[in-house]
């Protein structure tokens, strides 16, 4: 089951994030999906799509690369890096045109071939430092 769960998470990261399309692959998201990002309140799928859409606007050339994947039971842990050019508004910060190179990681709970829950940590302090904020 671990390999199948890794394939679900990989498809989500590469086909949704990688293609900058928050509406892609709804078949990968379980009913009742919950996303946890650092100190933010939990997000449902619609909230996640709004947040992701903001990142896709802020970094229209965002490119994500999976560095590591580990799976056990219903959990998949992934470490990634991503790069992008700050060309759109980011949480109220006007575009700077600066290039960002950073990383993050997430743990995904997969149930019946769909992501039911995720816990994600991104290096937002590093992003803001690179943007001069």
Q: Three-state DSSP class for 19?
A: coil
**What's the CA gap between 69 and 87, in Å, rounded?**
30
Per-residue pLDDT 10s for the chain (133 aa) are 799 999 999 999 999 999 999 999 999 999 999 999 988 899 999 999 999 999 999 999 999 999 999 999 999 999 999 999 999 999 899 999 999 999 999 999 999 999 999 999 999 999 999 999 6
Q: What secondary structure does DSSP assign to 43-83, as a single string?
A: B-HHHHHHHHHHHHHH-TT-EEEEEEEEEETTEEEEEEEEE
Residue 37 three-state SS = strand
Residue 91 belongs to domain with CATH number: 3.10.450.50
Tell me the residue range of the domain where 36 lies.
2-131
Q: How many domains does the chain have?
A: 1
Q: List residues bridging with 122 in a β-sheet.
A: 104
pTM: 0.94
């Amino acid at each position: 089951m671990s390999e199948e769960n890794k394939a679900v998470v990989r498809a989500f990261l590469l086909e949704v994030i990688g293609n900058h399309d928050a509406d892609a692959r709804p078949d990968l998201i379980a009913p009742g999906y919950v996303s946890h990002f650092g100190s933010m309140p939990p997000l449902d799928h619609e909230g996640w799509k709004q947040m992701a859409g903001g990142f896709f606007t802020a970094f229209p050339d965002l490119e994500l690369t999976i560095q590591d994947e580990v799976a056990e039971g219903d959990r998949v842990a992934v470490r990634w890096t991503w790069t992008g050019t700050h060309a759109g508004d980011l949480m109220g910060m006007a575009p700077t045109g600066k290039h960002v190179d950073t990383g993050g990681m997430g743990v995904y709970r997969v149930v019946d071939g769909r992501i039911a829950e995720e816990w994600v940590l991104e290096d937002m302090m590093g992003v803001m430092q690179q943007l001069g904020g």
